[in-house]
Structure 1
Amino acid sequence: MTIEYRFAPLEVRAADGGQIEGVAMPYGREADIAGIFRESVDAGAFGTIGDVILNRMHDRRDPLARTGGGGLDLMDGAEELRLKADIPEYRADVRDMVKRSILRGFSVEMEVKAEDWPAPDRRIIRAATLWGVGLVDRPAYDEATAEIAKRAKELCRAHPRHWRLAV
């Protein structure tokens, strides 16, 4: 299983009472993936969303909320996947970092199940399993880019006729 991370540099709002909300994944919008290819995620690609954990900076040891009664609500619509989370009172540090825009975006953790490559440098994710969402300061380019570049090279080797890039 290969988990991929995608950052949505969109507004995260801190509401009264420790609630945060924002867009976790905009659908149908292209993103540049490490300068190697462009990618978009179809609306409905996550299908039935199961157990998802919200954590800080993709650290599984730092859970903040969870679907199924643990303070995390995901609203999957035609345009985007929205997130609303109740951050526990004892996590005032996280609440403060959101209010001060230190933590200012969401980054999804997904396993791609179905994809299309309509062009050598264009990927459309048709189906994926959503495993988690990170509340992040910015994309972890050093780690995420290395992981994305590794996955891109694997894809090039697996589908050589689709690629004109040297890997």
Structure 2
Amino acid sequence: MHSKIHAKKGHDITVLERRWAGTNYRDEADGIKFVRFDLNICSNVSNKEIVYDQIRRPIGALRFISDRSMFALKTNKYLKQDEFDILHVHLPFATNILININRELSSRMVYTAHIGEERKRFALDSSAPLALKLFSPDLYLMKRVRKSVVLNEPLKEKLVRKGNS
């Protein structure tokens, strides 16, 4: 929604994303460019493999980390070839890898934590996978980017109280 508004105002908007089955490598819609990367590690069918199920098993965790690492490497390569003012990210796992291989990005990076699975993602739920209880990619990322946006107001208040503003 916001991207369409900014594109209409003349801003150059490019979305970098995984290439899902049936999508083109490059597209444009409503003035927004889409650049998609083949990863070929995890499924290329949207929502076929759920993150929280994957990371419960060692082989699933390894595949997931490899997949997100590949996305981060391809994103970093793309960003080095193109100028940009702001990098707005939504994927905490891949972005944590990206920000650690290219720390210069953090000053231009905005992270939006979307609603969904917060209790697991922020290790606020006993059913969260052990990996997320030990390390929250969201919290790690929030401490390293220029700005974080949390779309869930009650969650935002909890995070601020815990010192994660």
Q: Which has the higher contact order (CA 8 A, sep 6+)?
A: 1
Specify if TM > 0.5.
no
Comparing both structures, which one devotes a greater share of its residues to strand? Answer: 1
TM-score relative to the length of structure 2:
0.24
TM-score by length of 1: 0.24
